Chains A and B, each alone.
Chain A
Amino acid sequence: FDEIIVDLTTKRKQYPRKILECVIKTIKAQHE
């Protein structure tokens, strides 16, 4: 249970930033 919580919350902390990097790359590519 503890590992699941840590895994889940680590994703909550890190994934938005990673996804955002992809979104920003996509937006820049579209812009170019």
Chain B
Amino acid sequence: SSTISRVKLLDTMVDTFLQKLVAAGSYKRFSDCYKRFYQLQPDMTQRIYDKFITQLQASIREEICEIKEEGNLEAVLNSLDKIVEEGRDRKEPAWRPSGIPEKDLCSIMAPYFLQQRDTLRHHVQKQEAKNRQLADAILAGRKQVEELQLQIQARQQAFQALHREQRELLAVLREP
């Protein structure tokens, strides 16, 4: 489980590559190829060979450093390590782009549409509840208007009865 970081793996691979390359290009092989020069100048051959190996290794390591810096590769690889670590419990193959952008975009937009739908649902329910309260208030108000109208009707009828009595009374009172 203790996975090696990708950066370390990369360095190890490059080291191994260089070791094997140097092992392949051994001094023996080098001196065999440059046999006559080697016979003439063995010490010089050794020094040139050593310089050759040192320079080759230095150049290759320098190149790797450059590539790491250029693409910020270390940070990118470390972040990939982290992503892989987070997903280590998964076994089944993960989603991959389908190649149809419209299709892949649906899932990306879904959370926002779902949120919009829930917000709208909430607003509609809230407004419906408020409107129910308003409707109840209106029904109560209508009832009250009705009662007031009945009260006024009663008062009006009483008043009219009175008026009728007044006229009768007057008629009686006015009799000579």
Contact = CB atoms under 8 A, between A and B. Distances in A.
Chains A and B share a contact (CB less than 8 Å): yes
Interface of A: 12, 15-16, 19-20, 23-24, 27, 30-31
A12 B99 CA distance: 10
Contacts of A30: 116
A19 B108 CA distance: 10
Contacts, number: 21
| B interface SS class | helix
B112 A23 contact: yes
A31 B119 CA distance: 9
Interface size class of B (residues with CB under 8 A): under 10
Contacts of A24: 112
Contact of A20 (B97, B104, B109, B116): B109
B97 A19 contact: no
Contact of B97 (A12, A23, A27, A31): A12
Interface string B115-128: 01001000000000
Contacts of A19: 105, 108-109
